[in-house]
Chain A
Amino acid sequence: MSESISITTTQPAQTAASPSFWQDARHRLWKNKLAVFGLVVVCVLGALSLASYLWPNLTGYTYARQDLTLGPAPPSHAHWLGTDALGRDLLARLLYGGGISLTVGLYATGVSLIIGVIYGAISGFAGGKVDSVMMRIVDILYALPFVIFVILIMVFFGQSLVLMFIAIGAVEWLTMARIVRGQVMAVKRQEFVEAAHALGLSEARIIFQHIVPNLLGPIIVYATLTMPEVILLESFLSFLGLGVQPPQSSWGVLIKEGADVMQEYPWLLIYPAAAMALTLFSLNFLGDGLRDALDVRGSKD
């Protein structure tokens, strides 16, 4: 073999077929039974919710159809999960509400993730005065009462579901920004960041190509914690009349209504609460699984 390293452009060598980063991650995820369980549950619930949007009559009833002669009826053959005080089919309302809750969770978490990661990464990387100013802004926003903040946004921009996603995301990113900032400050002291500087990389490239991938673990874990939080937040806003409007439903609305009458009509609380709990568990399992799967330092076999 020639020892010369004259670097001429040789024929593009065939790189050995090796699994990509995402293939590796998927492989590791599949081996984690709990995470797969979580993924399946979330997917099934999502699919059912989607189906109830597309075919409102999926269960034989729409979420808004009342049957006042029936009143609150316990689960029966006609109404699998029973009906509420206005005789509306709980299963239809549960599926419809699931759609709204999951969408809120997904979008609001997405918004908070994007703002929080970018803001936190820049703040942590810049350090010094820039960091101080950026973090004081976060502190100020933290100090504002959350409800007033959201009401302001909703009043100012009008009321719609999309705005609710953004409003919730705009509040939830604060903690994400703090977490990411702290992690960035720890990672940026490591030698590979110095090496990246020495290679002449731009700062944006160093932040988003080299530092942020190292933070996937904490970011994913926190994102899975954020999702249940925003689902609960949505129910709180709906309770104040700022979220979904009747006759629409969401899990938060259903649980709230059910809790009011839990002694008389327990099924109105049990089923929505069970659906919510199942979702939250699944998301947590999935989050744990994703964190392990995306950590390339984990065992590879």
Chain B
Amino acid sequence: MSLLNVEKLSTSFHTRNGVVRAVRDVSFQLERGETLGIVGESGSGKSVTCYSIMGLIPQPPGRIEGGRAMFDGVDLLACSHGKLNSIRGRRISMIFQDAMTSLNPFLRIGEQLIEPLLIHEKINRNDAIARALHMLNAAGIPEAETRMNMYPHEFSGGMRQRVMIAMALITKPDLLIADEPTTALDVTVQAQILELIQKMQRELGMAVILVSHDLGVVSGFCDRVMVMYAGQVMESARTDDLFYDTKHPYTRALRQSIPALQMKGQELHTIPGQPPDMLCPPPGCPFAPRCERAVDYCAREEIRLLEVAPNHATACLRVQKEKLAV
């Protein structure tokens, strides 16, 4: 059985201007110890997917319209608040994009670190502090003992993200959801943080969901990648397959947009057009208006994710027709 099995998850936001369908029928599985990357532009629904799983969607205006998220036999979308709280922070942890603001500015680092231990485990304060120190050391924070007594504003951005990671992993969770953990950091620190997550993952044997808008970051890190666009999954495959045997035109366009692949002096590749307005998403494939290979039925027919090669699913209608007609 998979560790996490998300089926047909749909999340909407009911705003004054209408219903924004932020996530539509997203399904995926995650095995123990596996790393899944979720890639997409801003507003593609990748963060909302994670927030839905964690029960962090503010309701109202948000609403989980349907679907299931089975975590080890428990449906996270339907279980009681108490049950959810006994899973969050203990078996599933999350780290956020902006470590600057995700630590409480009024509490010492040490207090915040031991908090998940104190509420989820029967442990006395001294043991909790010892474990927190151990975690800080493991997260590469020098002089951990002094640091425990400091406040978040006395740390740099990279250091805070390390603290967040230490805090998320202190209960040895089965699943870590990292929502753009390196977006707010500069590139050198970014690499260090990713390395740290990887090292921790190896040693704790946990599964990781890494959300990023950077295909480059995801490629070096994940076993599997899921590409999202306009709230739907466009392509899902093993990382190598996704890069060397790209099926979906959107994934191809994203791949070409990685700046490092450009020759010097050459114009940077961009995807023309804008993502669709999620208040009234177009019928058919949401990428069709921007797709250079779109044909007439692309804008009409409903898309769904289909496996076109072993472990390789795509939502591109053209590819599906070519592969499955043969």
Contact = CB atoms under 8 A, between A and B. Distances in A.
A201 B107 CA distance: 15
Contacts, number: 117
B155 to A, nearest CB: 13
Interface stretch (B130-138, B264-272, B317-325): B130-138
A201 B89 contact: yes
Contacts of A1: 137
Given A198-B94, A199-B115, A213-B106, A18 B126 contact: no
Contact of A7 (B105, B107, B110, B172): B172
A128 B151 CA distance: 33
Contact of B119 (A11, A192, A201): A201
A143 interface: no
A49 to B, nearest CB: 35
A15 B149 contact: yes
A231 B170 CA distance: 51
A77 interface: no
B88 interface: yes
B98 A16 contact: no
B127 A198 contact: no
Interface in A13-37: 13-16, 18, 21
B3 interface: no
Contacts of A18: 146, 149
Contacts of A13: 129-130, 133, 145
Interface in A208-224: 209-210, 213-214, 216
A252 B115 CA distance: 48
A191 B86 contact: no
A198 B129 contact: no
A5 B138 contact: yes
Contacts of A262: none
Given A199-B89, A200-B89, A214-B104, A15 B148 contact: yes
B56 A194 contact: yes
Q: For chain A, which range describes its interface: under 10, 10 to 19, 20 to 34, or 35 or more residues? A: 35 or more
Interface in B98-142: 98, 101-108, 110, 115-116, 119-120, 126-127, 129-131, 133-135, 137-138
A296 interface: yes
B103 A197 contact: no
Given A7-B134, A9-B127, A297-B153, A197 B88 contact: yes
A14 B146 CA distance: 10
Interface in A175-200: 190-192, 194-200
22 contacts: A7-B135, A7-B170, A9-B127, A12-B129, A13-B130, A15-B129, A16-B145, A16-B146, A192-B103, A192-B105, A195-B103, A197-B88, A198-B94, A199-B93, A199-B116, A199-B167, A200-B87, A200-B88, A200-B119, A201-B85, A202-B85, A213-B107
Given A194-B96, A197-B55, A199-B88, 11 more contacts: A5-B138, A7-B170, A13-B130, A15-B133, A18-B146, A192-B105, A195-B94, A198-B89, A200-B119, A213-B107, A214-B105
